[in-house]
Each structure stands twice: as C-alpha cells, then as structure tokens.
Structure 1
Amino acid sequence: MEIREYGINNQKNILLVHGGYVSYKTLKIQIEELQKGYHIFVPLLDGHNINDKSELNSIEEEASKILKFFKLKNINKIHCMCGASLGADIIIEILFQKGNFAENAFIESGSLGINKILAIPLIWISKTAMYKGVRGNRYWEKFIEKFLIDIKMPKELCCDTKELLRHMSISTIKNVQKLVCNYKIKENVNLITTKCLVVYSSKEKLYMENPYKKLQETIDMKIVCLEGYNHGQLSIGEPQKQLKMLKEFLV
C-alpha cells in the first residue's frame, strides 16, 4: 500500500481514505483545501493503484497496513480520519483495531453489513458492471455512465475511474462490494473513544440506520441523513459541502 502525504509542515494530522472502485484523485479538492492547515495522509488502497498489481483482500488488512504505517512514523494518535463507502468501513475497522487512534472520525456511507438477501444481487451487479462496463459491453457502459452522473462525478474523474477499473483485477472488483456487504460491527466497540460524525443518504437509510443507532448507544456519535443523495455523492460530487460539514464538526 502506498500512502501519500501533503502539508507535511503542519502539526495536526488527518487521514483521508477514498472509496471502492475510485482512486485517491476523487479527494483532490479535499486534499488541496485541508493541506493548508493539516498534515494529510492519503492511502492508495490495495487494488486501486494504477502503478501496481496489488489486490484488495480484506477491510481488516487495509486498516492494519494503515496503522502499521503510522506506528513506523511514531504517530500514535491523529486529529481526524475521513472515509467514504469502502473507505468509511476501513476507518471504522481502524477504530476497532485501535479505539483511541483518532480524536475525530467523519464516516460517509459505511455499510456495516447489508441484509444477506439484498447483498447477493448487489455483489453480482457491481462485479458485472465494473468489469464489463469498461470492457466494451454497451449495456453496462451505460449503467456506469448513469451511476457516475448520479453521484455528480466531474468528467475528468470519470475518465480516471474508468482507467482504474480497466486496470483492476476481477478479484478486486468482486471483493469491493463483497467486503462492504459483509462487514460487521466488532465486539470491542466499547473501547472506541473517538468522536464520530456519520453521514448517509436517505436512499441508504433502510440498511444503515439501525446498525449506526446501535453503535450510537456506545460511541460519541452524531448521525446525519442527507435527503435524496446517492451513495458517495457527498465526497465525490459535492466536496465543498463535505468540507463545510467536516470543518463545522471539527470546531
């Protein structure tokens, strides 16, 4: 796993973790803004680096690699972590592996497991669309185009995303959705001391509301439901709004 750094002369540290099927470039606006006042760390998740042949195996493994990186730098605690979708689940897993690692966490659309019946078609559709949609299948090409439009992804990022998907192995493509659909809350939740802001869309409320309300019983957590938003839309399609929410949260 490669981890890039920005604003290295700033004291407070922020970890930004991108989502599945997209590159770290979806965080470009957040990086440019936050590096003015923070030391930013941005992992290029396994299977999502155009410059290597790594594969995504597990959420737990990604979290462990990130924590190991900080340990080697003698950084035991950071100011904030932010992640969306797969990145959000990795942020949550970091909390389970080291409950006092971050003072704050901004969690967008982390799944915390999905109903098994619903997960089966989700995994199949994602695997098929993300593989065939950039390899000449016209139906799935249109499917991906609509998805990218729905989350308001800028055109330059659409090209980057398609290039990344063409580079991804079928194993990583399948694992992204499989891992987020099957990720579960760990038993050591009571050890988490991080203050959390959880954001998800009204379209995700059906399968996200109850797991987070359960976590809220133990963790210092605020939950915000964005009406009418699509999965990943906030951080990818409306980064300025996400930054505004993050800054207000960190005050």
Structure 2
Amino acid sequence: MKFHEFGNRANPHIMMIHGGGNAWWNYLRQARALSEDYHVILPTLDGHGEEHHTEYVSTTDSAQKLISYIDENCGGHLFMLCGVSLGGQIVIEMLSLRGDISQKAMIDGSICYPQPKTERFCTAVVRLLGGVMFSRVSCRCQMLFLRLFPKMRFPKELEDYYIQDIPLLRKTTLYNMYRTYMAEYQLKEDISKTNAQILYCYGSREMKCVKRSAQLLKEKVPSCRIYEAKGYNHGELAIYRPNEWLKFVEPFLNT
C-alpha cells in the first residue's frame, strides 16, 4: 500500500478508503477541503493504481495492514474512517477487528454479506470484456461521457489520474477483489463491540443487497444511522459529488 497525506499531522486524523478499481484520488477533493482542520490520509490499496504490481489479497488483509499503519503513524486511533464500496467494507472489517480504531465511521454503499451470484457475473464479464472495459481508450470515452453532466464531471486532474490508473488493473486483482468482497465477506459479530459512531449512506438506486447490508449493520450496531441519497447511484455522492458529500458530512463531524 501507499499513503498520501494532507494537512498537519498534529490535527485529528481522518482516513478515507477508495472503492474497488479506483485509487487514492477517489477522495482527493474532499481531502483537500478537510485538510484545513484535519490530517487526512488517502491509501492506495494493493493491486490498485500505483500499487497495481502488488497482489490484492482480501478485505481482512487490507484492514489489518491499515490498522498497522494507524498504530505506527496515528497513535492507534483515528477521528474518522470513511470508505466507499470496497473501501466501506474494509472500514466495517477494521471496526470489527478493533472496536476503538476510530471515533466516527462513514460507510458508503458497501455490502456485508455474501453475494456469490453477483461475483460470478462480474468475474465472467471481466473474463470476456475486461481488455476492452479497462483499456485507455475506454477510460477516455468514460471521461468524455461524464463531461455531459456538469455536476458530476471530474476536473482535468482526476480525469488524468483515472485514465492513467484504471488500465493498470490486472485481472487477478479484480478476481480476488470480487471473490473476497462479493462472494465471501460476512459481517462479524464483533462489529457490535465497536465504540464508533457509524453513518451508513447509500443511493436509492443501489442494488437491494446494499440496502440490506445497511439494515444488517444496524441490527448489530443499533446506534448506526442510515441515510438514503434519493435518486443517486452506487458511490455517486462520494465519488462524483464531493461538494454535496462535504455538506452532508459536516454535521456528522461536529456531533
């Protein structure tokens, strides 16, 4: 893993974990805004972006490595953990492994029980079309398409990161990620021991398994707050609408 840091290390620590297939820049705009008052850490997970040469193992392996980093660099505790999709599942696992790892946690559109059919479908699609889907030409086309939606388009800097990093994804990374994120991960009983204030958000257009995951988490942690972003798709608030994300998160930071 590689870690990008923003802000003064003496300030409260926030770690923000990107989704599968993306990299540290997933939360770059939020990190820069929050760095005025917080020390913000953006990891790049194994197998992604600049770490594409490193094998991605599993959700638990990623959680353990991030906890080790926090122990070594943040005194063993964060003010807030954030994660979208795969990153959110890693946040859930970190809270299960270490209940006091963070004072607050925000999870965005992350599943926490096995979905083997979804895993088989995604793996099949990558086997057949992965070379086209993750090519540099395809990435450029995706960024051009995104420009049609002014409120969601990436700035030039993020477009460049996307076009640079997405084609580096190896199929083995995607297979391991789909298997451990979709087909194998199961919410642990130990999540009920966490001391963190948890906010789980998802888009109203997400798959049913995401919405069910929010309810499962709340059953284990009754204090967990759930928010449905009306009309939004998977990861849309965190990845494509950073200004809205910041307005939404600010009250959570201050309570």
Give me the TM-score of the superposition, normalised by structure 2: 0.86
Indicate the SS of the match to 1:217: helix
Asked if 2 retains the 8 angstrom alpha-carbon contact of 1:10 and 1:37, the reply is no
CA shift in 2, pair 1:146/1:3, >3 Å? closer
Aligned residue number for residue 225 of structure 1: 228
The CA distance in 1 between the partners of 2:59 and 2:144, in whole Å, is: 24
Give the aligned CA root-mean-square deviation in angstroms: 2.7
The CA distance in 1 between the partners of 2:224 and 2:232, in whole Å, is: 21
The CA distance in 1 between the partners of 2:46 and 2:231, in whole Å, is: 31
Letter in 1 for 2:90: I
Asked if 1 retains the 8 angstrom alpha-carbon contact of 2:71 and 2:77, the reply is no
Of the structure 1 ranges 182-191 and 27-36, higher mean CA displacement relative to structure 2 is found in 182-191
Indicate the SS of the match to 1:204: coil
Unpaired segments ≥5 residues, structure 1? none
Indicate the SS of the match to 2:220: coil
Asked if 1 retains the 8 angstrom alpha-carbon contact of 2:52 and 2:170, the reply is no
Asked if 2 retains the 8 angstrom alpha-carbon contact of 1:134 and 1:162, the reply is no
Aligned residue number for residue 8 of structure 2: 8
CA shift in 2, pair 1:95/1:166, >3 Å? same
Aligned residue number for residue 18 of structure 2: 18
Deviation at 1:208, TM superposition (A): 2.0
Aligned residue number for residue 111 of structure 1: 111
The CA distance in 1 between the partners of 2:229 and 2:162, in whole Å, is: 25
Aligned residue number for residue 102 of structure 2: 102
The CA distance in 2 between the partners of 1:101 and 1:193, in whole Å, is: 9
Aligned residue number for residue 163 of structure 2: 162
The CA distance in 2 between the partners of 1:48 and 1:184, in whole Å, is: 23
Deviation at 1:3, TM superposition (A): 1.6
The CA distance in 1 between the partners of 2:38 and 2:159, in whole Å, is: 28
The CA distance in 1 between the partners of 2:209 and 2:134, in whole Å, is: 29
Aligned residue number for residue 199 of structure 2: 197
Asked if 1 retains the 8 angstrom alpha-carbon contact of 2:44 and 2:50, the reply is no
Per-residue deviation, residues 133-175 of structure 1 (Å, max 9, x unmatched): 2338x8xx39x72997389351633442232122222111223
Asked if 1 retains the 8 angstrom alpha-carbon contact of 2:110 and 2:213, the reply is no
Unpaired segments ≥5 residues, structure 2? none
